[in-house]
Structure 1
Amino acid sequence: MRIARVEVGGRAFWALLEDETHRLRPINAPFAHWAGLTGAQALDALDLGPERLPRSAARLLPPLEPGGRVFGVGLNYPHLQRLGSTVPAHPLAYMKPESALVGANDEIHYPPLTTQLDYEVELVAVIGRPLLDEPRASHCLLGYTVGNDISARDAGKQIGRLDLLTQKAMDRTTPVGPWIVTPDELGVRGQPMLNMQLTVNDELRQQDNTRQMIFPLDELLNYLDARITLRPGDLVFTGSSHGVGLETGRFLQPGDRVDAQISGVGRLRNTIAAPRALSGARAKGRLGQPLA
């Protein structure tokens, strides 16, 4: 199944994307009734409405259930050695606010606190049910979607420390979508092995396969769940590969078109917006400015 979070006429809801017609059928059942099910059971539990909407009639939203959390993982592909890092003893994780997310075709904000805006195509796992005592954590997933973990690479340089709040969490900087694809639809059981790539203005910048993860998906999910119990609807970004701007010095600029795609899952098509200016009062929070 392909399940999208959409907005039509100001109303947000989940919908099933029908492969044969490419139309959207609204899902009437609450998310909790079907997110943890698989196959025919899940389809029966959706309580689909009779209406079929053309995709063009809906805005694709980030596929995040209201109340869901967003987790990220860094240093999870071999390119970290090109960046002067060694393989960590365990995953490096962080959280994003919901306000950091944008949809598959939305503009990406260019924050006023950076001049080094970078791209990172990533496979995103969507939690379907609590992990509890399930021996294979990935069996608890609803499915997968595509993420672009846009990063402010110059965050923290002035204090000589990692500043993940500025680097990863700024408003409307993280595209995710276009929908969730269930594991049975992908033919995935356990660790995904999916091709992913990213282009900027049609120039290929990143290309790899999710089999190259240093910490495989089950290990990432177990690591997170041991610290913060994962809940249905949570998103987990699983890390990105080589070719990022941090390696080449070629960062994103206003007006750039960024396409991120993962085979069998979908594609994000986003444009970088013009830089946003801070108000005078908020400029006190700018990097390098006094806070008092």
Structure 2
Amino acid sequence: MKLTTFTHNDRTHFGFAIDDRVVPFSAFDADTSALRSVDNYLDDLDAAFPAAQAIAARVANDPALLVEGKTAFAITDVTLELPLKPVMFYDMLTSPTHVYLSAKTMLKYEMNAVLRATVMPLLLRKQKKASEDLSQPEVPEYYKGNVASFTGTGSPLVWPHYTSFLDVEPELAFVTGNSTGSKVAGYLIINDCSARDIQMPEIGGTRLGPQRSKDFQNVMSPFIVTPDEKDPFDCKVDVRIGDRHHWTGRSDKYALPPHEAVAFMEKTARLQPGTLIALGTIPRCNCLDNDIWVQPGDKIRVEFEGIGIMENTVAAPEYLDRAQATRWGERADLKQYYKG
């Protein structure tokens, strides 16, 4: 199933998508409290999942039950809301190939000429060896994100005034539910927007709380795909930066499967229903890995086969503050935005 929260005629529904339509659970079961909203669903996953499955199977077996405007609505006639408002957001670093590729670009901009010629080859040799190891990390790295930063497909991508090197990062994520079995309620994709040129000093500084380089916006795909629907580690990934660039990858490059991520996080935090956990950036599908950067007006399209699609346009910055946004130098294609 592809679970969704949508609004039609000022009324918000929780339901599922089937082909090009959405179906509210309330049209077939108004009594099961676990199906009244995504929060209820996640709070009582053991009851909600089979109840939702039964409705989806019933509809699939008898399409005549879908009456336009009553028990089903065309996706084009509704507003797809965020599939959930996460109570917590953790973003993990479980993609070693991405770490290696991004390190090459990061070091290129952060090191002076002497260090690039001497130290950088040694660091990259060590990192390349690590990038080939997809075994489970002993202590996975992660950061806590801003749950208020999420927007949906179609929303503009904000360009903060303190960065010249805005990045888009497609990631596989999953949401947790309250269950006596697996706590993985379903999968979705996010775009973890990043300000790359200010990231290193923030990481090397106090590291207190969310950093500006990661705190301003994330994008969430519109559906939660239940575990029975799709193997999340078998997805083709397609990223398009307007007509200028086309990157492809796969979701099988993660070193930590979701159930292991849950087991690790439960050792350090109480995973409430509605916790969103991302597994890290798909290698070669972001700006830093490729050292190719988005421009204002670029239409960003991210697709994980069978999981979801996000389409967003990069907004032009109101201005770029020279004192903050030029650590890696000024970009000629952004010349008109610099002030100060």
2:219 alignment counterpart = 175
2:249 alignment counterpart = 208
Contact 2:92 2:143 in 1 (8 A): yes
1:5 alignment counterpart = 5
1:1-292 matches, cutoff 5 A: 1-8=1-8, 12-19=12-19, 22-28=20-26, 29-35=36-42, 36-37=45-46, 40-44=50-54, 50-65=70-85, 68-82=87-101, 83=103, 84=124, 85=127, 89-130=138-179, 134=181, 139-158=182-201, 161=204, 165-170=211-216, 173-186=217-230, 188=231, 192-243=233-284, 244-276=286-318
Task: Find the residue that maps to 1:275 and give its secondary structure.
Answer: coil
Contact 2:238 2:246 in 1 (8 A): yes
Q: Per the alignment, do residues 160 and 52 of structure 1 end up closer, same or farther by CA in structure 2, a change over 3 Å counting?
A: closer
Q: Per the alignment, do residues 276 and 221 of structure 1 end up closer, same or farther by CA in structure 2, a change over 3 Å counting?
A: farther
Task: Find runs of 4+ consecutive structure 1 residues off by over 3 angstroms.
Answer: 7-13, 30-35, 37-40, 43-46, 48-51, 84-89, 156-160, 202-206, 285-288
d(CA) in 2 for partners of 1:45, 1:168: 39
d(CA) in 1 for partners of 2:211, 2:202: 13
Amino acid at match of 2:51: Q
Amino acid at match of 2:226: T
Gaps of 5+ in 2: 27-35, 60-68, 104-123, 132-136, 327-340
d(CA) in 2 for partners of 1:206, 1:156: 23
Q: Per the alignment, do residues 10 and 77 of structure 1 end up closer, same or farther by CA in structure 2, a change over 3 Å counting?
A: farther
Normalised TM-score (structure 1): 0.79
d(CA) in 1 for partners of 2:203, 2:174: 32
Shift, 1:265, TM fit: 1.1
- 1:119-174 CA distances to partner (integer Å, 9 max, x unpaired)? 111111111225x6x5xxxx32221112111111112445672665212111xx21
d(CA) in 1 for partners of 2:13, 2:306: 23
- 1:77-105 CA distances to partner (integer Å, 9 max, x unpaired)? 32312324556642211122222111122
Shift, 1:8, TM fit: 4.0
Q: Per the alignment, do residues 286 and 10 of structure 1 end up closer, same or farther by CA in structure 2, a change over 3 Å counting?
A: farther
* RMSD after superposition: 3.1
Task: Find the residue that maps to 2:233 and give its secondary structure.
Answer: coil
More helix, by proportion: 2
Contact 1:25 1:50 in 2 (8 A): no
Task: Find the residue that maps to 1:109 and give its secondary structure.
Answer: coil
Contact 1:34 1:45 in 2 (8 A): no
Q: Which moved more, 1:99-108 or 1:205-214?
A: 205-214
Task: Find the residue that maps to 1:168 and give its secondary structure.
Answer: coil
More strand, by proportion: 1
Larger radius of gyration: 2
Contact 2:161 2:325 in 1 (8 A): no
Normalised TM-score (structure 2): 0.68
Amino acid at match of 1:179: F
Shift, 1:247, TM fit: 2.9
Q: Sequence identity, in percent?
A: 23
d(CA) in 2 for partners of 1:107, 1:217: 30
Gaps of 5+ in 1: none
Amino acid at match of 1:265: I
- 1:4-43 CA distances to partner (integer Å, 9 max, x unpaired)? 1234455544232123xx2222344243543314764334
Amino acid at match of 2:52: A
